[in-house]
Chain A
Amino acid sequence: MIVKRRGKLEIIADILRSIQSKGGNIKPTHLLYKSNLSHAKLKEYINTLVQKGMIAEQQVKGKKMFVMKDNGHKFLLEFDRIKEFSDSFGL
């Protein structure tokens, strides 16, 4: 079976979904495990997402966590709509 490589946007969507599935905040180690990326690659993506205001790094109960922001929710909503549009119209 040929496994299709994920595109940049799909990786971003997967990272955001991982955070969302954990109620909007996630520990860095959990995110690394769930995102299926190397530590270096994940760090790159995290920096991009923080810069774009999709996620933020926060201290929750003394622990470092990544928290999903409104821009992240908006991106995910739009990404899922485009995916549905693409599937429905056979693109």
Chain B
Amino acid sequence: MVFENIPYGIPSYVFGPKWFYGFDSIIELIAVVISILLVYYSYKAFKLTKENKYAYFSTAFLSLTAAFVIKIIGTLAIYKPTITRTAIGSSIHQTFNSLTPSNINSLAFIAHIFFMLLGFMILFLIISRLRWNDQRVIILLVYFVFLATWISVIHYQFFYLTSFAILMLITHSYYKNYIRIKSEKAKFVFIAFSILLISQAFFIFVIYSNTIYVLAELIQLLGFVYLLIPFILIFKREPKRLRK
């Protein structure tokens, strides 16, 4: 783990072993692609139906997409410091010349925490069918996300512990959804979130061994692949009524 103090006491985090550098970015890139697909389709559903639930779902996955993109940038700053010598990299570097790769990594990690928690929180709000018109609930939950981000900066484990707790509630809701509608696709969604929940459990302990980080990333990849399956199934088959 790279741990360097930077101004304001924000630590820099890279958890994986050296041989895994870049592989985690590829895994996160796959997660980004799957998240973007969900963002795009739910936004399309919102445009057609004008139902807000699709817009919120789209926002949740947009937040998760932002979280992963930011993490990729943050880790690349450590894995590939030569990136600052490229045309774009050097112009960014000149603009923010006081930022070291470690600074970028630290700031990216904070943004990653915020967007991950925000995404999971929005998802929890939609699928648990909390009343969105009660703005006090929303304000309280957004405050909680800020608070959790702040504490997570000091104790990174709090971040994974919080996302584990929110994901546990999300997974429970998806289990109830699967029991209610008994469809194969709902089962895949439930399995996907169960796997993501397990990956978060592994992430809590990454500080103890970098092998745990590798396992957590691979489990997370599996979770996102499972999330893609129901999406493919929906588009693969034509509805029964249209089959000849």
A89 and B57 in contact (CB under 8 A), knowing A9-B49, A81-B235? yes
Is B186's CB under 8 angstroms from A88's CB?
yes
Q: How far is the CB of A41 from chain B (nearest CB, A)?
A: 20
A87 near B238: Cβ-Cβ < 8 Å: no
- How many angstroms between the C-alpha atoms of A90 and B235 in the bound complex? 18
Whether A69 is near chain B, meaning CB under 8 Å from some CB there, is no
Q: Are B234 and A88 in contact (CB under 8 A)?
A: yes
CA distance A88 to B241 in the complex (A): 19
| Residues in B neighbouring A91, C-beta threshold 8 A | 53-54, 57, 126-127
Known contacts A90-B174, A90-B189, A91-B126; decide if A20 and B57 are in contact (CB<8 Å): no
Stretch in B158-166, B177-185, B198-206, B210-218 touching the partner: B177-185
Contact with B along A61-83 (1 / 0, CB 8 A): 00000000000010011111110
Of the candidates A20, A21, A77, which one forms a contact with B238 in the assembled complex, judged by CB atoms under 8 Å apart?
A: A77
Do B230 and A88 have beta carbons less than 8 Å apart? yes
Q: Please name the residue on chain A nearest to B241 by beta carbon.
A: A20
**Are B189 and A85 within 8 A (Cβ)?**
no
Which of B48, B177, B241 has a CB less than 8 Å from the CB of A82? B48
Task: Give the residue among B53, B127, B239 with the most A Cβ atoms within 10 A.
Answer: B239
How many residues of B are in contact with the other chain, CB < 8 A?
A: 27
Interface residue? B41 (CB, 8 A) = yes
Give A88 to B189 CA distance when docked, in angstroms.
Answer: 7
B residues within 8 A CB of A90?
A: 126-127, 173-174, 177, 186, 189
Q: What bracket does the count of chain A residues touching chain B fall in?
A: 20 to 34
**Residue of A with least CB distance to B240:** A80
- 16 additional A-B pairs beyond A88-B186, A89-B230, beta carbons within 8 Å, are A9-B48, A76-B239, A76-B241, A77-B239, A82-B48, A82-B49, A84-B239, A85-B234, A86-B53, A86-B54, A87-B185, A88-B181, A88-B185, A90-B173, A91-B57, A91-B126
List the 8 shortest-distance A-B pairs measured between CB atoms, nearest first: A88-B185, A90-B177, A80-B239, A90-B127, A82-B45, A88-B230, A91-B53, A88-B186
B interface residues (Cβ-Cβ under 8 A, vs A)? 41-42, 45, 48-49, 53-54, 57, 126-127, 173-174, 177, 181, 183, 185-186, 188-189, 230-231, 234-235, 238-239, 241-242
